[in-house]
Every structure is written in structure tokens, then in C-alpha cells.
Amino acid sequence: MTGTFDLVLKGGTVVNHDGTGVRDVAVRAGRIAAIGAVEAGSAEVAIDARGLHILPGVIDTQVHFREPGLEHKEDLETGSRAAVTGGVTAVFEMPNTKPPTTSAEALADKVARARNRMHCDFAFYVGATRENIGELAALEMREGTAGIKVFAGSSTGDLLVDDEASLDRVIATIRRRAAFHSEDEVRLKERMGLRREGDPSSHPEWRDEAAAMISTRRLVRLAEKHKKRIHILHVSSAAEMEFLAGHKGWASVEVTPHHLTLVAPDCYRALGTYAQMNPPVRDARHRAALWAGLASGVVDVLGSDHAPHTREEKEHAYPASHAGMTGVQTLVPVMLDHVNAGRLTLERFVDLTSAGPQRLFGIRGKGRIAVGYDADLTVVDLNRAETITDAWIASRCRWTPYNGRKVKGWPVGTFVRGAKVMWEGEVLGSGAGAPVGFLEGY
């Protein structure tokens, strides 16, 4: 193919919706302009990608970047720096900031903070409250909005909508797919006495499988009643996965790398409160059920649930310790290690992190390598063995639960709308992030 291009990646193995094979990818004006055999001399910049795999840009649909109000943990620049260092080209960021993202003004402020400062593209969830239910249908259609997020069980922050009447109103109101943290608040309150001082292994005893299941049943029932789309975040239990397999008409399913990788009680012995998450990392039976749900297609997407806290906050004695861990930077290498171990195919990984998000959320111009689409590319070396370390982590909190873990498969380059924003671990240039566009909404 001939023409004049800004960039061509030569000789890489492209993994895409139409198969896997060695092809060149050419870029012009931020979009993919040609796929196939492209003359290197036809582009201003040619990159030798032989021996590397070129994936559609990885989209992480659940991160917490903590700005505004909690910048001591993370901000939009540092969180997005971690994202592109790990091969992630776009993120959906959560509303539990200070103040929370629950109004048009708070959303516009976040978009303004992020534009041309974040290193990857972005969209923000708007948090549902009992007070803003009447505004949700308008808020979810604004620029930079990923959709509505509902905390049906308490987690980090002050957002909570836990009574059925309010949840019914939220689901009746929404037009797009809304995302839910699904744990039953009544059961969580009843079981608080099961927490053992200084023992984070009691976390999954407190926030048990039933707490998740009660909430997920309720949400699915309301979604089916109103014929509205819901997205159950960070599914962690065997019972939920079995139930959701029979209720895919209106409910989509996310799992996280840490629920697929870590296992209780080992993780609590090894990591202590650094393994503390909501919902919790559970035992091997639950982890096996998540992998089975992934293999059978029940799982639609992967999200990191990147939720950084400082070491001081994590090292308070349980249960005063904060729940959450870093994850956006390690999503790609941890999951590529699973690919190399034979637990999923590379094509399934692409479906979970690119095509799946595009399909569920109606993302415009992203999610596949195709002419006319944004040139968002994640370039990886499947054969590269590395050790994940705290020193590699770009997040402001500078730690990872995978410190010291050896993996096979590594992010080499990140391209956002044709711009090389990371190569061989170095973040290049200042942030030029822009809002993700959607088929519904802005």
C-alpha cells in the first residue's frame, strides 16, 4: 500500500477482530489509515515492530484517580502516567472523589482538569445519589461521561444508594448502561462484628458471598423489570457468576485481575492489609468460578479497579486500614502472564479489554484496529520475562501487590490517537488526553 502517513508500525503481529497475523499498521492524523503491506518510506516515522504483538488499545473501564480532593493518593496526571506505562490507552474514572462527581459542574471540572493533561483518553462516571436521581438522565449524556455509577454497598467515599426504592428509581431513569458496586449494605452492617482486629483475613468473612449475591439478585431483578442495562463491577463470588450466567439479557459482568490472580488465605498471609479490597479477594473455589465464567463467555470485560492509597493508610491495623490497591499499570502484564500460562487466549484478552468495552458502552472509534478508527495501540512483547516491582510503579503511591512477581509478557509501547506516549517504559511528551466519545451521549 502506498500513500503518505505520519507513522507506520512495520512487521508486527496484529491481533484483531478478523484474526491474528503479521501486518503493517499505518497512521494518518491520529487515525488508522492502512493495514497490510505498507512501504516504510511512505511514512514520516517507521517503527520496527517485528517480534511484537500489536493490540487494539487497552481500555480500563474502572479506575479511581482520586482527583479532586484526594491527590495525596493519586491525581489525573499520575494515574494516567501509570496507565500508559502499563499499555492502557483509555480509562473510565470513578466518582468517589471530594467533592464527588454528582453534578454537571463537578463533571465539567473533571473534564477540564483532564483535557490535555492526562496521558491517555478518558471518561468519567457520574455518581448517583438519592438527591440527583432526577438529573441522571441528563448527566449521563454529557461530554466525557462514561455513564452512571451506583454504590449499592458502601466502599471508599461517601456515595451510597442502598435502599430498593431508590435503586428502582435510578434504574428506571437511566438510558445508558449503569455500573454498580454490588454488596448488600444491610448484611454488611449486620456482620461488622465478624471483623477481627489486626486480621485482614476476616475481610471476606465480613463481606461474604451472600452480601454480594443479595445485592446482585436485586439489581438484576430491577434491570429486568425496567428493561435497562446494568453492569456488575468486580464480580468476586461463585454464586454471582452462576446466577449471572442465567441473566445476561440486561446485565453485563466485569472481573478484575486481582480476583483472578490472588487467592485467600494466602494473599492475606503474604500481603496483609495490602490485599484488602471491596469486594474482597476470596478463596480458591471462588477464583476457579471466575475463571470458568471467563472461559464460558459470561464475563464481558476486565477492569483493574485501580484504587490507590498511601502506605500509611494501608498499614493501619485492620479494619481501620483502607480497602483498595493499584492495578491500572499491572493489568496488561499480569493478564499476559495468564495468557502465556494458557488460562486464556490473546484474542480473548483483546475481547475483554478492547472490543468488550466498545461493545458494552458504545464507544465511538475505539476498540479495534480498523481503517478510520482512532490509532490507539498497545504494543506488547509476549516472550519478554520481567519482574514487577514497586520501583516500576508510576502511581503516586508507588506500590503494587505484585511486587516481586515474575511475569512473561510485557507492554512495550502505548499509542493514543497515533501519538507514541510510551515506549520501553518511558512516558513521552506532555499529556494530550481527550474525552472518549460515545454512540449514546456526547
Active site residues: 305
Q: What whole-number distance in Å separates Cα of residue 253 and Cα of residue 233?
A: 7
DSSP 8-state assignment for residue 133: G
Cis peptide leading into residue 100 (ω within 30°): no
Q: Are strands 88-93 and 121-127 parallel, antiparallel or unpaired?
A: parallel
User: Across-strand partners of 27?
Assistant: 7, 32
Question: What SS3 state is found at 196?
Answer: strand
Q: What whole-number distance in Å separates Cα of residue 226 and Cα of residue 117?
A: 39
Give me the helices (H) in 91-161, please: 104-114, 136-139
From 63, 108, 94, 68, select the one nearest 81 (Cα to Cα).
63
Cis peptide leading into residue 68 (ω within 30°): yes
DSSP 8-state assignment for residue 74: -
Say how many residues make up the chain: 442
**Look-up: residue for cell 438522565?**
137
Long-range contacts at 130-138 (CB < 8 A, ≥ 24 apart): 130/161, 130/166, 132/102, 132/103, 133/166, 133/169, 133/170, 133/173, 134/173, 135/103, 135/104, 136/170, 136/173, 136/174, 137/173, 137/174, 137/175, 138/104
Residues 6+ apart with CB under 8 A from 258: 277, 281, 305, 325, 327, 401
The Cα-based distances of 418 to 4, 32, 110, 311, 373 in angstroms read 14, 8, 24, 36, 10
